[in-house]
């Protein structure tokens, strides 16, 4: 069961049914997570989401040090050459998106996907993922391929409904299992106290 805006309980099955038909807003650092094929960013991600059951409208906001030629029509691109600048602008845009969508309808299911890499444990980026986890939000997150081997000791694991490794997402695979996520949370910095949040 989940709470709607008026505090009434709604069946979880109803919510899950609505979430796959809901729009998906994507915030994507295309410098850290590039598409290295001729296929457009838009079509690549749309295909991946459809293969995972998401059929709603797809909107992408891309951030990078250079605009890719194969971005795709309708993708909003913001030129940000520095990593901190890209993350900072993305944080602002995510916050504004959350305010706008909550104001319009607090109980309408929404999908938000973040394809970006936190720099280290001292930034606020992962905390944003916790704020995105509301009864009406389905938060999807993508981690770098080398997260577990090289970055897990210094980069916090985001709190999200579903998490993919980048190469698995591109291959159309399912997100990480709850068992895998629990294992990673035990290794990530300062995550033990937050694991159940």
Predicted confidence at residue 172, as pLDDT, reads 85
The whole-number average pLDDT for the span 164-178 is: 90
Phi-psi map region of 37: left, alpha, beta (phi>0 left; psi -120 to 50 alpha)? beta
Structure tokens at 65: 């040090």
Rg (CA), the chain: 16
**Max CA distance (Å), the chain:** 48
pLDDT at 136 over 80: no
Domain 21-194 listed as CATH 3.90.70: no
pLDDT band at residue 4, thresholds of 50, 70 and 90? very low
Structure tokens at 12: 């979880």
For the chain, the structural domain boundaries read 21-194
């Amino acid at each position: 069961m989940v709470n709607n805006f008026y505090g009434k309980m709604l069946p979880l099955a109803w919510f899950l049914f609505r979430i796959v038909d809901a729009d998906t807003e994507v915030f994507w650092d295309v410098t850290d997570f590039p598409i290295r094929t001729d296929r457009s960013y838009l079509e690549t991600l749309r295909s991946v989401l459809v293969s995972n059951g998401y059929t709603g409208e797809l909107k992408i906001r891309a951030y990078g040090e250079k605009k890719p030629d194969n971005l795709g029509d309708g993708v909003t691109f913001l030129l940000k050459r520095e990593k901190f600048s890209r993350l900072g602008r993305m944080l602002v845009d995510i916050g504004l998106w959350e305010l706008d969508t909550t104001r319009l309808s607090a109980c309408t299911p929404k999908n938000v996907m973040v394809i970006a890499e936190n720099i280290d444990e001292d930034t606020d980026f992962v905390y944003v993922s916790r704020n995105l986890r509301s009864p009406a939000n389905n938060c999807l997150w993508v981690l770098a391929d080398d997260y577990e081997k090289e970055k897990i000791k210094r980069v916090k694991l985001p709190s999200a409904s579903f998490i993919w490794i980048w190469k698995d997402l591109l291959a159309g695979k399912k997100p990480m299992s709850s068992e895998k996520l629990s294992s990673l949370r035990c290794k990530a910095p300062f995550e033990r106290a937050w694991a159940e949040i």
